[in-house]
Amino acid sequence: MFDHIKIIYHQGKQFIPDVKTAKVPGIFRGRPVISLAKVNESELVNSCPLNAISAGPVRLDLGKCSFCGECARQFPEKIEFTTDYKIAANNRESLIICEGDQGPVKIDPAKVRKEVPRLFRKSLKLRQVSAGGDNSCEWELNAANNVQFDMGRFGVEFVASPRHADGIVITGPVTENMAGPLQICYDAIPDPKIVVLVGTDAISGGVFRDSLALDRSFLDRYQVDLYVPGNPPHPLTFINGILDLINA
Amino acid sequence: MNHTTIFNNQTIPISQIPEISYDDFFELNAGFVTETADRHCVSYFGYPVGQEIKLICCMADDPSHVIHISSCLVSPTGNLASLTTGNFCFEKFEREIHENFGIGFTGHPWLKPVRYPHDRKDPLQTIANYPFYGIQSEELHEVGVGPIHAGVIEPGHFRFICNGEQILHLEIQLGYQHRGIESLFLSNSKLSGRVQLAESIAGDNVAGHAIAFASVWESLCGYQVPPEVDFSRTVALELERIAVHTGDLSAACADVAHQLGGAVFGRLRTPIVNFFQEWCGNRLSKGLIRPGCNQFPFTPDLAQRLLEVLKAFEPEFIEINAAIFSLPSALSRFERTGAVSFENTLSIGSVGMAARASGLNRDIRSSHPHSLYPSLQHEPITKRHGDVYSRLQVRKEEVRQSIKYLRELMTRVPHGKQEPGLSGLPQPDSFALSLVEGWRGEICHCAVTGAGGELLKYKVKDPSFHNWMALAMAVRNNEISDFPVVNKSFNLSYCGHDL
């Protein structure tokens, strides 16, 4: 008993007091900034293993980007990754960063369905489905629940049953073998419900975009309420995206 | 010679592997594994050559640090004698070959689908119609779990046959995570794309799979890795081991409702993954390992930071372990739960941490050492009982061992000179193999190149491929309520298995 109290005492204060302004350590690759410097654009486009960069004007699609940093290494004068982790958006187009853009990635309040903030502002229960995910996004979503990020303090939690959920969180590129179970899970969630895509694989297929083993038709059928880019997304990216959505 | 012998990370001309008849192939490979723990099958796969299928079997020989490679050419419509009848370790490899090419294996106990790949031989077989083993009985009942599980984890289906609360049999059906990695390796022509594929095989074992890919590629290109690259890779593997073992100890505590353990181990994982971020910009080390180069040199400043992180980590880790492993209510859930005997472990060909917990010494770091492991003179940690307690003890002790290795490595941080990097193309008509000890166990990547140096076959084997059967064995005669903690003590990869 006293041992346990001692352990609790030794932990000190672990939680991040303000998840909106916390600084991430080190050289985290978050929102990129593209300068107006002139570079060989075809080489720049070609430097990306995932075809996330397009030319004229130079744009980088965070929904396709794996944040490997290859472009910034080859063209440091053109592309720089900042440590800004707030890169989730509800518009697919908001994930496309154009050269010269300096502003943050934002939730567009006009596109948030009215019932989402009204019903879920104080309590949002989510059912996560890994549809071909590589377990990296799952690790980070679990980390969002740990004592440091402590997403539960905002009333946001993952639940076991879709019947208890207000929305579905999808990771992975949606494999053919998971397309059926994903649909069943979605159908089991009572209305109104939200759809959240977490990670580059889910948003665009990522490194698997050309695979013949995928069936992404689910994503054509339903409106996506939140895109959370990253490979995997940082827990703070996910938490801030969700909070901005339900407080819109 | 009816086979050829190579070292880890060696490339040989494909013509150097003798093509023998299937009867000889059978005799040879069955003979390798009979009644000895010294040798085991690290990979066995097929690929099409004209109208026929070429089978390649790779048997690692631990005491002599070599790998025996043999091959044979067979017809895709034929029926072959099954190696599984005498040695269960071939069970899944033969099922995989059957599923991919349609080759029959006479005498195989259950030639069932492995993962329903998109390019399977029989597209009429679908994942919703898996042929589960059933029992006709009024006393027994079946419990189906998954593919979607209660937590934030990957999908897979578990079918239990129970007598009351007691599990008699568990069958594990996988394949939901199949996203065609092996064929993408062939179709993706960018090296930077391929290495990202390797990083996505198992997102909790990024460093392990990326190092295996990089080693295969460097070996195919005849590139000698400079010591600073080897240094970074060794550090990355040991950091990954600490991070995941700590996270798994947290999950095991949560599964026996010990919340303090769950919270403390969970938060202890954070400084380790955050160190990865300080080093390479990603908490799971994505982007760190690249063939032939050291994108993020390990600087003396980073060494200083790592020593600080470990200094803060270790006493907290020891303290919480001492509390958990002296608590009777936790021990009663861990001890004698989910035990796999040494004999079963050996016969199903289990590898890595799970095998070591049952007393089977399988560790690539000592048997086929790569990177800086020869200089660390690694001694594997083994336990005897093969229960949840043993697997958690292995994790605990391996974390402390990894800390020791990291401290030792930090005394000899190489100078950060920029090496020229990889140039050149893969050698044509060659075979390369790389074994890496990830935190789960041995990762095996094999590549076969064609006349122009292009990839003809890229074969990935995650340690989970062997170990899922160990989990099915472990839960027999256990309470079904103990399944979560047994499962977590293994923490096998779904995506690494399904590819």
Nearest CA in chain B to A12: B264
**Residue B377 backbone zone (phi > 0: left; psi -120 to 50: alpha; other: beta):** left
To the nearest whole angstrom, how far is the Cα of A168 from the nearest Cα of chain B?
12
| Residues 6+ positions from B362 with CB-CB distance below 8 Å | B40, B62, B350, B351, B352, B355, B356, B380, B441, B442
B187, B193, B281 ranked by CB distance to A26: nearest: B281
Find the closest chain B residue to A131 by CA distance: B177
pLDDT tens digit string along B97-141?
Answer: 999 999 999 999 999 999 999 999 888 888 988 999 988 888 999
Shortest Cα distance from A151 to chain B (angstroms)? 14
- B264 close to A (CB below 8 A): yes
Distance, CA of B472 to chain centre: 17
In chain B, residues with a C-beta closer than 8 Å to the C-beta of A136 are 200, 203-204, 206, 284, 286
**How many degrees, rounded to 5, is the angle at CA B435 between CA B494 and CA B462?**
5
Q: Which of B155, B197, B260 sits opposite A8 (nearest CB)?
A: B260
Question: Does residue B280 belong to the interface with chain A, where contact is any CB pair within 8 Å?
Answer: yes
Of B204, B263, B281, the CB nearest to A28: B281
Min Cα distance A231 → chain B (Å) is 8
For the beta carbon of residue A115, count every other beta carbon within 10 angstroms: 11
Q: At residue B166, what is the residue type?
A: Q
Domains of chain A: 32-98 (3.30.70.3270), 109-246 (3.40.50.12280)
What pLDDT is recorded for position B320?
93
Answer whether the bond into residue B463 is a cis peptide, omega within 30°: no
Judge whether B180 is closer than 8 Å to chain A, CB to CB: yes
Residue A25 has pLDDT above 90, yes or no: no
Instruction: Establish if B318 touches chain A: CB-CB under 8 angstroms.
Output: no
**Is the CB of A29 less than 8 angstroms away from the CB of B147?**
no
Using the Cβ of B145 and the Cβ atoms of chain A, whether some distance falls under 8 Å is answered with no
How far apart are alpha carbons A130 and B154 in whole angstroms?
5
Q: Which residue from A minimizes the CA distance to B154?
A: A130
Contact B177 A3 (CB under 8 A): no
Rounded Cα distance between A165 and A142, Å, is 17
Band the pLDDT of B36: cuts 50, 70, 90.
confident
- Both structure tokens of A116: 């989402």
pLDDT average, residue stretch A242-246: 94
Euclidean distance between CA atoms A174 and A76, whole angstroms: 34
* Mean pLDDT calculated for residue range B303-324: 94
* pLDDT tens-digit series, residues B173-204: 999 999 999 999 999 888 889 999 999 999 99
Query: Which of B148, B189, B277, B494 to mutate against chain A (most A CBs within 10 Å)?
Result: B148
Dist. CA A9–CA A3, nearest whole Å: 10
C-beta neighbour count of B228 within 10 angstroms: 18
- Domain residues of chain B, as ranges? 1-114, 181-498
For residue B119, give how far its alpha carbon lies from the nearest alpha carbon of chain A (Å).
8
The DSSP code sequence of B293-322 is: B-SS---HHHHHHHHHHHHHHHHHHHHHHH
Averaged confidence pLDDT in chain B: 92
Predicted local distance difference test score (pLDDT) of residue B82: 93
CA B455: distance to chain centroid?
22
For an interface test with B, which of A68, A84, A145 has the most B Cβ atoms less than 10 Å from its Cβ?
A68
Q: What is the pLDDT of residue B361?
A: 92
Q: Which residues of A touch B323 (CB under 8 A)?
A: 3-4, 7
pLDDT digits (tens, 9 = 90+) for B205-257: 999 999 999 999 999 998 888 888 999 999 999 999 999 999 999 999 999 99
* Cα–Cα distance measured from residue B478 to residue B457, given in angstroms and rounded to the nearest whole number: 41
Q: Do B286 and A136 touch (CB under 8 A)?
A: yes
* Of A11, A69, A232, Cβ closest to residue B287: A69
Min Cα distance B263 → chain A (Å) is: 6
B183 touching A, CB under 8 A? Answer: yes
Whether pLDDT at B420 is above 70: no
Q: What is the pLDDT of residues B422-431, one digit of tens each?
A: 777 889 999 9
Q: Tell me whether residues B192 and A181 touch, CB distance under 8 A.
A: no
β-bridge pairing A167-171 and A124-130: parallel
pLDDT, position A66: 92
Place of tokens 């100078």: B415
Looking at residue B351, what is its pLDDT?
Answer: 94
CB contact under 8 A, A158 and B197: no
What residues are paired with B288 via a beta bridge? none
Is the pLDDT confidence value at B417 over 80? no
Alpha-carbon torsion (A223, A225, A228, A234), positive or negative? negative
Q: What is the pLDDT of residues A184-231, one digit of tens each?
A: 999 999 999 999 999 999 999 999 999 999 999 999 999 999 999 999
Q: What is the mean pLDDT of residues B451-456?
A: 90
Per-residue pLDDT at B312:
94
Into which CATH architecture does domain B1-114 fall?
2-Layer Sandwich (3.30)
Nearest to A178 among B119, B176, B270 (CB): B176
The alpha-carbon gap from B206 to the nearest alpha carbon of chain A, in Å, equals 9
How close B149 gets to chain A, by Cα (Å)? 7
Q: Measured between alpha carbons, how far is B438 from A4 in angstroms, rounded to an integer?
A: 33
Q: How far is CA B335 from the centre of its chain?
A: 25
Instruction: Quote the DSSP letter at residue B55.
Output: E
Query: What pLDDT was estimated at residue B148?
Result: 93
Work out how many CB contacts closer than 8 A connect A with B: 193
Q: Flag whether residue B272 sits within 8 Å of chain A, measured between CB atoms.
A: no
ipTM value: 0.93
Q: What is the pLDDT of residue B415?
A: 80
Cα Rg, chain B, nearest whole Å: 22
Contact A206 B200 (CB under 8 A): yes
pLDDT the model gives residue A2: 83
* Among candidates A67, A138, A175 on the partner chain, residue whose Cβ is nearest the Cβ of B152: A138
Output the pLDDT for position B418: 62
Is residue A170's pLDDT more than 80? Answer: yes
Whether B323 and A131 lie within 8 Å, measured CB to CB:
no
Are B445 and B18 spatial neighbours (Cβ–Cβ below 8 Å)? no
How near does any CA of chain A get to the CA of B13, in Å?
Answer: 30
Query: Read out DSSP for B464-489?
Result: HHHHHHHHHHHTTTSBGGGHHHHHHH
Q: Which two tokens stand for residue B60?
A: 């690692």
Contact B260 A130 (CB under 8 A): no
Q: Of 3.90.280.10, 3.30.750.200, 3.10.100.10, 1.10.645.10, which CATH number belongs to B181-498?
A: 1.10.645.10
Mean per-residue pLDDT, A164-193: 95
Is the CB of B286 less than 8 angstroms away from the CB of A231?
yes
Q: Check residue A3 and give its pLDDT.
A: 84
